[in-house]
Each structure stands twice: as C-alpha cells, then as structure tokens.
Structure 1
Amino acid sequence: MSDFAKIGAAVIGTGFIGSVHLQMLRRLGVDVRGVLGSSPERGAQAAASLGVAQAYAGLDDLLADERVDVVHVTSPNHAHYPQVKAILGAGKHVVCEKPLAMTSAQSAEMVEIARASGKVAAVCYNIRFYPLNQQAHGMVRAGDLGEIRFVTGHYHQDWLARPTDWNWRLRSEMGGALRSVGDIGTHWVDLTSFVTGLKAEAVMAELATFIPERQRPKGPVATFSSGAGETETVAIDTDDAAMIVIRYEGGARGVMSTSQINTGRKNSLQWDVAGSKASAAWDSETPDHLFIGHRDRANETLMRDFTLMNPTGTAAATLPPGHVEGFGDSFHAFFRAVYRDVAAGGRQEGSTWATFEDGHYEMRFCDAVLKSAKEGRWVRLDEI
C-alpha cells in the first residue's frame, strides 16, 4: 500500500490539467475521493469517464466531505481566489494551479490566509520538478556557476496561433488581464527564480496582440483541442506575446519572451543562466539534458542520471538513466514532495515546491508587467 493511501484528495476542474492531476495522484497512490466540475452535469460526465466514484454537486458538498484532506484547484483563474479561501477556511490543504490569483491584491490576501491556516498551500509550478531543474538549483546554491549575471530565455507555444483557436484563457474576465505572461510566462519566472535564487527588482515590458478578433465556438472547448460547430466573432484584449527586460536584485539582468502564436513551438520553455564561473541551460522539449558551459575546458551535457547528479536533482528523479522523464513525471515528483509534507503535518526544511509566497511574487511580477506595458517605462516591483 502507498504511503499516501490514507490521504484523501479531491480535484476541482475536469479539463486537461485536472485530468493530469488525477492521473498523477493515482500513480502516487493517493485516494482520489471525487471531482467537482463546472456544473453537476459536466462533473458527473467527467467522473464516469475518469473512473472516479463521486462527482460533487458543488464546492460546499466537497468541503463537507470529511474524507478529503487535500483539494487540487485546476479551475479557471478567476475561481482560484474564492475557492482557495473556502478550502483553507474548511481546514483542508490545497494545491492551486497557476497563476495563483487574478491580481497581486488577491494573492497577498491568500498568502496571509494560508499562513494563518497552518495548512500545506502549494502552487502548481510543476516545471521545477523536472530533475535537471532541481539539479541546476542545487548547482547554483553550491556556487558551481559563481555569481549569476545574465538570465535569458522564453516560453513559446503555438496552440493559439490561428483566429479559429479558442480557449477560456483568451477571456480576460476568466484568465486575467495577462494571457501569455500569466498562463505560461509565470512558469518561466518561477522556474528561473527557483534555479537562480534571484527575484526581479524592476521590469520593462511590451505586450502584443496579433489576433485582435477570434472565432469563439458557441459550445465548450477543451484546452489544446480544436473547436467545432457554430462560432461568433469576439474582440481579444489579452496578449498573444510579450517581451520583458528584467533587472534583478543584486545587479543581474534578464531578458525573456512569451508567445502562444509561435507556429511549430508546441511547449518550448528555455532558460539560459550565465554565471561568473560557468553557465547552464535547459529546454523543456529535451528535458533530460542540461547544458553546462565552460570557458577553459570542454562544455558538458549532463543527461539525467542519478548516479552523476547532486542530492537535490537525485531526489526528484524516478526512472533509470536513459528512460526519459517528461511532463507527467514532473507532476508526479511535485505531488510526491507536497504529500510528504502533508503527511508530516506541514512544509519541511529543504522542500522545493512553490509556496503561496512564490505565487504572490509571480502576481506582483505580472502586475508590474501590466503597468510597464501601459505606461511605457521601467516599473519596480515595490511599486505594486
């Protein structure tokens, strides 16, 4: 029996990412008690198709289930704030999808509520848990790269590259004022902050909406799927792409871009960190390889191999060398770390999952990006 079999979980949201949460919780051995859909009918349909015993009629029904210890929030962004407040208020642990909230004002309140609750409150920045990102985090902490000077990279996708592509994230009232930055850019911001230990001090940003009108299907559309049937033309006020220059605390600099319209780029997150001693780089589409750059000897490519990795990287690895660990595995490693802390009664020393404080930092970053793009100037995060 799994060490986590006595922990009960429920998942809010039955779309693409909700099903990923469910699958990886099952792999971990967690008892998934039920799911909550956007309506009782959709919840019941999802429960039947996913093989879950119960579909809750509403949030109150879920929170009243004493068998549920941890709630996973994978609903649209606008629902995170009220749902998380209710979950913590009910005395349950929470794992919330990113971004944590719609605004930094909301996320600041969520941080305080989580802190007062004493419960485990994690934000789903699963990309931290690709083993070689944990490896890089350990390398920076050990001083292997020296002083961090320059951080560059991007997060590019193509699933919203056509006017007929549609998803709820396109609607600012559901996804927030930022789309490419809020949806995928926060992954890059969190990951590079985790790897380097640096926080942004100020940003200069430009946002671009290349497709100002789109065809919205009149029926529901799942993430990464193509809509069908009758459509209507709607105006778009969220960003297809963004370019952001970053000043970090301590003097380092950074440049990043985000895009959901880069044809052929399915899920390309890349970071490159230049230090005074060495550099390192990683690409999510080849996740089992870490580039390590040198000046006076040959560069290296470290393939994920726990016989060669540091303890931080090794702790996140599951499969033998040469057996690629991918997207689903990163959720498995992330949930394993979170549920260990749930079993222990709270976050333990050395835990590397993203906290609500981390999620709040990303929301402050997003609000600074919005302000910079609107006002055409550098914006310090302490203005937010």
Structure 2
Amino acid sequence: MTDFSRIGVAVIGTGFIGTVHVWALRRLGVDLRGVLGSSPERGAKAAAGLGVASFDTLEQLCADESVQAVHVTSPNHLHYPQVKALIEAGKHVVCEKPLTMTAAQSAELVALAEASGLVCAVCYNIRFYPLNQQARGMVAAGELGDLRLITGHYVQDWLAKPTDWNWRLEGDKGGDLRAVGDIGTHWADLTSFVAGEKPVAVLAELSTFLKQRDKPTGPVETFTAASGATEKVTVTTEDTALILLRYPSGARGSLTVSQVSPGRKNSLRWDIAGSTASAEWNSETPDHLFIGHRDGPNQILQRDAALMNATGAAAAHLPGGHVEGFADTFFALFSQVYSDVLAGGRQEASTWASFADGHFEMEFCEAVLASAQSGAWVKIGG
C-alpha cells in the first residue's frame, strides 16, 4: 500500500460529513494536521472529540506550510471563498459538492485549478462503489449496446417532518436548489460517469410540500433530531423534483429526487437500458449489480474482484462477500486523489470528479431551476 504519511492534510468542517472525511483520512494514513470549525470554540471542541488539533481561522490554515491539502466540508455558501483562498495558498483541494453556489463561481474555480497545476477534486464519492466502476467499464466496452434510457431516483426521508431542520433548507446557505443540489447532483454525476455522457437539456418540476417548518434557535447537526426552542419559518427550497433528461447520443432519461419519502433512508438507484442489455444499481444494496438480457437469463453480479472487469476490480478493496459501503467510498476516492498528489498530477486512469465535473453540476442545477420556472426544456450550460 502507498505510504501517504508525508502528505499533511486538514479538514474544514466538523459536522457529519467532515467527520466521515476524518475517518477515511485516518484509515488512509495521511498526516492529519487538524480541523477548522465554524468558530474557534466549536472547532476546538470537535477537534478534542476527534483527537486532532484545530485551526482558529482559514488564514492560519492557509499559512501553515505543513498542510499540503485541504478537504472542504463546510456549508455550501462557504465553498467558493474557501476553495479560492486555498488554491491561491497553493493547497490541493478536495471539496464537497456542490462546488459553489453558482456556475459563474464554479467556472472561476475551474480556471484557477487548471492554472495552478494542483490536484483539485469534488467529492462525488458514489462513483467509488466498485460496481459503479464496473458498470462504467461495461458501458465503455459496449456490453450494453447503444444507450437508450437512463432512469432512476435519489430519495431520502430525513426532512419528511415539519420539525426536521438543517441549514440546507435555507437558500442563502445551501443554494436555491436544495434536494437537487444536495443529492440530485450525486445522481447526475454518477449516471454521467457510468454512461460516459452528460445530459444536454432538462425539463423539471419542483415541489415544496412543507412550506412552514420549525427552525431550532440553536445549532443542529445533519441527520440528528432537533431539540429545544423553535421558531416558525417559511421554506422556499424544494422537497422534491421530477426531471426529464436528453443526452447527446439520443438517449433519454428521468430522475426523481426527494428528501421527504418516508422509509427511504438513502436510496440512489439508476437503471441504464441499452440496445443489447441493461444494468441497474441501488446504493442500499451496493454490492449487487443487476444485468438484464432479452434472450438469456438475467444476472446479479455480486462484487468480487475475481469476477469483475479491470475497471471494477481495481476499485474493489475487500474480498467478495465483505460488503464495501458508504465510508469505503471515501477511502477509495481519497486513495486515488492522494496517489495523484504524490505523482504530481492527475493520472490517466484516475476516475475522481474534477472541478470541471463540479462546474457541470452547477450548470445542471441552474438549468433545472430555469426549467422549473419557465415550464420548458432548458439547455444545460446555455
């Protein structure tokens, strides 16, 4: 295994996803230099619980020459200024999605990243479930034939009650699109990655079913229940989205996004139908890939490197039957990113999402919003 111990890394953000990053980085073996919280006090408290040091300010972090790379897991509205400052300070960056709040901001970061020569990745970790890498290899090899239909959903239930609260509900912190920006972009990135092509136009409908919510007067961690005093607030971001898609090859698609579907804890499902075969995957059963045939028995491929193509096998880290889950995807993503850091830049076989991929997702979100407002098809990036 590659020795990553000489790479100094820091993490901005100490909530749920920041903690997941810390766990994966420890497993990877980098030199974890510390975390930066939303305030010096909260950062120090979280750092003590994680057993790491803390930074008081972004400026202090940027000036620390022992830190070569930084993971940005802060609320969405902070990504752009923080990432820009980090690149200007010469730090490699792994940024949580969405990359920024607007396509104009993400375009600027793409240009800065390309000019810097630094490794700059967006944390679309779901690419790194091994069977998604397997499916990408299958499509690239023509095993599904010409692609015809790309369908699926990303549905959750953690915001299904009026008493559920998170900063993502507020447009000034999370963006004008909430469900689409938070989880719909994961589906769009993943299916584009597997299919080898990105959608070019969308027709979207957005719905907000819970227009009034109880906002706690104190802080609330993601995926945790609120307690204490609350105040009634009006919510303008969407609970659900229905999106039709057009692809450059002529393929068509549809996506359902929801954060208010009871019982659906974290279900991302895609189904790609080609002219000769189809494939389907669901994040809640990540070690199984359905492969469908017209003139022969259907198959269920269980993740096992000995049975997978080269792309899939390279992403499998555990023996077959030992399920690789959510946390493992971060380890696999970071392992590839830091191998590229040691190599001096992105390698030809690397499959992590670039800032250009993150910029496309911002263009995707803006097209979805424009389509929902106009009721018409909108060209992505147009």
Q: TM-score range by the shorter chain?
A: over 0.9
Q: Does 1:354 align with 2:353?
A: yes
Partner of 2:100: 101
Aligned partner of 2:159 in structure 1 is 160
The residue aligned with 1:6 is 6
Using the TM superposition, give the Cα deviation of residue 2 of structure 1 relative to its aligned residue in structure 2, in angstroms. 5.6
Match of 2:249 in 1: 250
TM-score, length of structure 1 as denominator length: 0.99
Give the alignment of 1:96-135 within 5 angstroms: 96-135=95-134
Give the equivalent residue in structure 1 for 2:39: 39
Matched, 1:146 2:141: no
- From the superposition, tell whether residues 382 and 17 of structure 1 become closer, same or farther in structure 2 (CA, over 3 Å): closer
2:211 equivalent in structure 1? 212
Residue matched to 1:16: 16
Deviation at 1:382, TM superposition (A): 3.6
- The 8 Å contact of residues 130 and 330 in structure 1, kept in 2 or not, is answered as yes
* 1:285-311 Cα distance to aligned partner (Å, 9 max, x none): 000000000011000000000000011
- Aligned residue pairs total 382
Q: Deviations over 1:229-277 (max 9, x none)?
A: 0000000010000000001112110000100000000000000000111
Partner residue of 1:66? 65
State the TM-score, normalized to the length of structure 2: 0.99
Shift >2 Å, 4+ stretches: none
Number of the residue aligned with 2:376: 377
CA distance in 1, matches of 2:265, 2:26: 27
SS in structure 1 of the partner of residue 322 of structure 2: coil
Report percent identity of matched pairs: 68
Structure 2 gap segments, 5+ residues each: none
Residues 184-220 of structure 1 show CA distances to partners (whole Å, capped at 9, x for unaligned) of: 0000000000000111111000000000010000111
Q: State the match for 2:76 in structure 1.
A: 77
Residue 196 of structure 2 is matched in structure 1 by 197
Query: Once the two structures are superposed, what CA deviation does each residue of 1:87-134 show, in whole Å capped at 9, x if it has no partner?
Result: 000011000000111011111111001000100000000000000000
Q: Could you say which residue in structure 2 is the equivalent of 1:263?
A: 262
Structure 1: distance between partners of 2:353 and 2:146? 23
Is the CA contact (8 Å cut-off) linking 1:70 and 1:92 kept in structure 2? yes
Deviation at 1:328, TM superposition (A): 0.2
Task: Check conservation: 1:157, 1:259, Cα contact below 8 A.
Answer: yes
Separation (CA, whole Å) in 1 of partners of 2:54 and 2:109: 27
- Which amino acid is 1:264 matched to? G
Question: Which amino acid in 2 is paired with 1:193?
Answer: S
What SS does the aligned partner of 1:169 have?
A: helix
Q: Which runs of 5+ in 1 are unaligned?
A: none
Could you tell me which amino acid in structure 1 is paired with residue 176 of structure 2?
Answer: A
Structure-2 separation of matches of 1:71 and 1:2: 19
